[in-house]
Structure 1
């Protein structure tokens, strides 16, 4: 039996906790021997979303096969006000020193840093906290804009939904990618992402604007980016001329034309497939290219 122990802090984000807990809970439903536990300095732990959680104040005995996870919490000045106290930090240090694995989601990396577990190691956190993590722990190597990192049994993730990716990765390492894929399918997760994938997808990076026409066109491209989509067809659907659509789209997305936006989505999806073991040719076909030459050119341009 392997234990997964979650260390809860007042203001804990529910998805930071529930995402990885669901992954290991689903693995248990599939017959893997995991036991989930929740510890805190007080029995009642208010979450950031208003739901109060019940936890144990006594730590279970853990061994090298066990995992201790620190989910993130709502950050408000002073940022350390809700961080785990001396006893949980000592427990984290002792567990790692005994050969166990520790992990964090989002602001949980600040707790690992305070425990001294990030010194000399690669780590990451939510993009809004990366500067603070680097400033507080200058001996750590903060890797920016990735989903998760692993370094000597210290695993850190970007936060919120990326805790699911972190947990699926740990399952894949221990039990193989097929089992992790089975858990992901059971959870209706769109895809099991690699750790070095960006925290914000192309669909999100180019949506920070207020142009309704462009958003409607992006909705079409997002849903059908593997298909041929002519500018004329997109313009008719948006109710504007081709010239107007190009002008609005370029201004709203910071310089991308509709075609370049579609190619960006194809490239991102292809990179994910290649990272999962697909060949360049197979990935090119999957995302809608007639052959692999265009994909190779786009990859070279991106590099």
Structure 2
């Protein structure tokens, strides 16, 4: 399968972390075998960053397909210049890629480039909190969403900037390659996998991966794959080479849940997805591993995270 190409558009005074955060996430995903290929393009071969580090970029754009992604990292912008530092050719490429079915993303002030290309019209978007008022006034045909990490609207993905570019990239990896892939990338990068954009991004795989316990991660790896199967505590303990008591203590300390509670939470989330797409409660319960629908109904009736019955 052809790797997904991520094309970063570099502009003068680009912020290193706006670029490096998502670039590292996609590179790590590729190192783990998830199939990404990164390219860096600009309107000049050398681009000076806001931090004074010069970068080399390609002048010629690679061949891109609708499954690929264009990312515009932000640039130094205590206040925005009257015109974004991208030329008409780049703006047209952004428009054409989106029109062909592709996705376009921005980090921080990169949203200004998307707005100048007309891609924010009629869509929700976000940016760094210092720029929200200015961009909201500049692009009144769009809807500014404040105080969130990222917003996804019709294949236009905007993020708040700086470190939130990592959250944006992890979300896109989760969408493209699955939540388990995003969790592995986050773990490799030693970051807390929040995934909380403006919509409910409540993946249990990621919400309970914000710890540094290797043992708990290994147990979660097993449960994530086999959540619909019967997983006795003795089998889990045997797979990771510790006693049941040690496993329960370490896992609960790291995640706040027992292994059984974590498994039930995964089952519940998957069942809710199936029900939301028209599956009956009974069929959803069987699919996720419950013997009948009673436990699923019980878990759905609770307002907090599920506990063992």
Name the TM tier (shorter chain): 0.5 to 0.7
User: How far off is 1:283 after superposition?
Assistant: 8.4
For the 8 Å contact 1:184–1:192, the answer to whether it is kept is no
Residue equivalent to 2:138: 136
User: How far off is 1:180 after superposition?
Assistant: 0.4
Residue equivalent to 2:280: none
Q: Could you say what the CA RMSD is over the residues aligned between the two structures, in angstroms?
A: 2.8
User: How far off is 1:193 after superposition?
Assistant: 2.9
User: How far off is 1:82 after superposition?
Assistant: 5.5
For the 8 Å contact 1:9–1:82, the answer to whether it is kept is no
| CA deviation profile, 1:34-55 (whole Å, cap 9, x unmatched) | 1100000000000001110000
> Which residue, 189, 192, 195 being the options, matches 1:190?
192
Residue equivalent to 2:218: none
Aligned with 2:17: secondary structure? helix
Query: Is residue 28 from structure 1 mapped to residue 30 from structure 2 by the alignment?
Result: yes
Q: What CA distance in whole angstroms lies between the structure 1 residues aligned with 2:76 and 2:139? A: 20
Q: What CA distance in whole angstroms lies between the structure 2 residues aligned with 1:5 and 1:17? A: 11
Residue equivalent to 1:126: 128
Aligned with 1:155: secondary structure? strand
For the 8 Å contact 2:29–2:185, the answer to whether it is kept is yes
Write out aligned runs for 1:199-214 (5 A). Answer: none
For the 8 Å contact 2:25–2:169, the answer to whether it is kept is yes
Residue equivalent to 2:14: 12
User: How far off is 1:281 after superposition?
Assistant: 3.9
User: How far off is 1:85 after superposition?
Assistant: 1.3
Report the CA distance shift for 1:80/1:72 in structure 2 as closer, same or farther (over 3 A): farther
| CA deviation profile, 1:221-279 (whole Å, cap 9, x unmatched) | xxxxxxxxxxxxxxxxxxxxxxxxxxxxxxxxxxxxxxxxxxxxxxxx9xxx99x9697
**Unpaired runs of at least 5, structure 2:** 200-255, 257-261, 270-298
Aligned with 1:36: secondary structure? strand
Residue equivalent to 2:116: 114
TM-score normalized by the length of structure 2 = 0.64
User: How far off is 1:86 after superposition?
Assistant: 1.0
How many pairs were matched up? 213
**Unpaired runs of at least 5, structure 1:** 198-268, 285-303
TM-score normalized by the length of structure 1 = 0.65
Write out aligned runs for 1:1-303 (5 A). Answer: 1-75=3-77, 79-80=81-82, 83-196=85-198, 281-282=304-305
Q: What CA distance in whole angstroms lies between the structure 1 residues aligned with 2:57 and 2:170? A: 24
User: How far off is 1:191 after superposition?
Assistant: 2.8
Report the CA distance shift for 1:173/1:77 in structure 2 as closer, same or farther (over 3 A): closer
For the 8 Å contact 2:79–2:131, the answer to whether it is kept is no
Aligned with 1:89: secondary structure? helix
Report the CA distance shift for 1:77/1:171 in structure 2 as closer, same or farther (over 3 A): closer
Report the CA distance shift for 1:193/1:38 in structure 2 as closer, same or farther (over 3 A): same
Aligned with 2:58: secondary structure? coil
